[in-house]
């Protein structure tokens, strides 16, 4: 059976829902992929491959509750494998060497702060009256001009500026100490 992302993710979700047979199949499929992953990167230290596979499998097992079902399973599991590989290199005092083309897997953009901020802003905007929400979304998020919004609403530009100022003031009052009030 080809170990595709869809298959692995389906098995992980089934395992999280209590299907022990699916979990056993997932671990078997994952073990093969992890062995190949480590063998490619440790061609001079093949004796460490089995240990790293076991460490990674144990880490996946103990952290399986942190898996977000909306994300790719392979990305999550191989991120754990990469951390185990880096830990191995640190323990052994050896620095990994590879071409920059191959090193792309080591670098991941952390977008969690922007996602959290976006969530907080959306929640704060959602507490405002509908007209105020629409005004903020049109000007600040969709980046429409004051004149475009004024024409669409049949209002003067001055009235839209005043309304936007008041809306932003209301929005700002919902934030205290960089957190949205709950």
| Topology (CATH) of 113-180 | Arc Repressor Mutant, subunit A (1.10.10)
pLDDT at residue 136, as a whole number: 87
**Residue 150 · residue 157 · CB < 8 Å:** yes
In the prediction, which pLDDT does 173 show?
A: 83
Per-residue pLDDT of 135-178, as tens digits, reads 888 888 888 899 999 999 999 999 999 999 998 888 888 776 55
Domain ranges of the chain: 5-97, 113-180
Whether 129 shows a pLDDT value over 70: the answer reads: yes
- What b/e sequence results for 35-63 when a residue is b if at least 16 CB atoms lie within 10 Å of its CB, and e otherwise? eebbeebbeebeebbeebbebbbebbeee
Is the CATH code 1.10.1740.10 the one for domain 5-97? yes
List, in order, residues 6 or more apart from 86 with CB less than 8 Å away.
96, 106
For the stretch 41-66, pLDDT in tens is 887 778 889 999 999 999 999 998 88
Give the residues across from 180 on adjacent strands: 175
pLDDT at 181 over 60: no
32, 43, 48, 93, 181 from 87: Cα distances, Å: 21, 17, 12, 10, 39
Mean pLDDT of the chain: 83
- φ, ψ at 145 (rounded to 5°): -80, 160
Q: Which token pair is 174? A: 């919902």
Lowest mean pLDDT across 33-37, 65-69, 115-119: 115-119
Bridge partners (DSSP) of residue 179 are 176
Distance in angstroms (rounded) separating the CA atoms of residues 158 and 91: 65
Give yes or no for residue 36 having a pLDDT over 80. Answer: yes
Q: Is a pLDDT exceeding 70 seen at residue 29?
A: yes
Verdict on whether the full-model pTM lies above 0.75 = no
For 147, half-sphere exposure in the C-beta direction (CA atoms, 13 angstrom radius) is: 0
pLDDT tens for each residue of 59-112: 999 998 888 888 898 889 999 999 999 998 888 766 556 665 666 666 666 666
């Amino acid at each position: 059976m080809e170990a595709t992302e869809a298959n692995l993710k389906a098995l992980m979700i089934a395992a999280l829902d209590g299907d022990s047979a699916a979990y056993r199949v997932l671990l078997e499929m994952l073990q093969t992929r992890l062995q190949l992953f480590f063998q490619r990167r440790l061609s001079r230290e093949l004796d460490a491959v089995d240990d790293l596979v076991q460490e990674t499998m144990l880490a996946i097992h103990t952290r399986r509750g942190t898996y977000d079902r909306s994300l790719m399973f392979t990305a999550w599991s191989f991120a754990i494998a990469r951390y185990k590989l880096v830990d191995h290199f640190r323990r052994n005092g050896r620095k990994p060497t590879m071409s920059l083309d191959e090193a792309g897997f080591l670098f991941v953009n952390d977008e969690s702060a922007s996602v959290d901020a976006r969530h907080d802003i959306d929640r704060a905007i959602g507490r405002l009256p509908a007209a105020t929400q629409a005004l903020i979304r049109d000007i600040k998020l969709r980046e429409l001009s004051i004149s475009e919004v004024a024409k669409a609403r049949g209002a003067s530009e001055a009235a839209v500026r005043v309304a936007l100022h008041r809306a932003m003031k209301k929005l700002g009052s919902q934030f205290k100490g960089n957190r949205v009030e709950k």
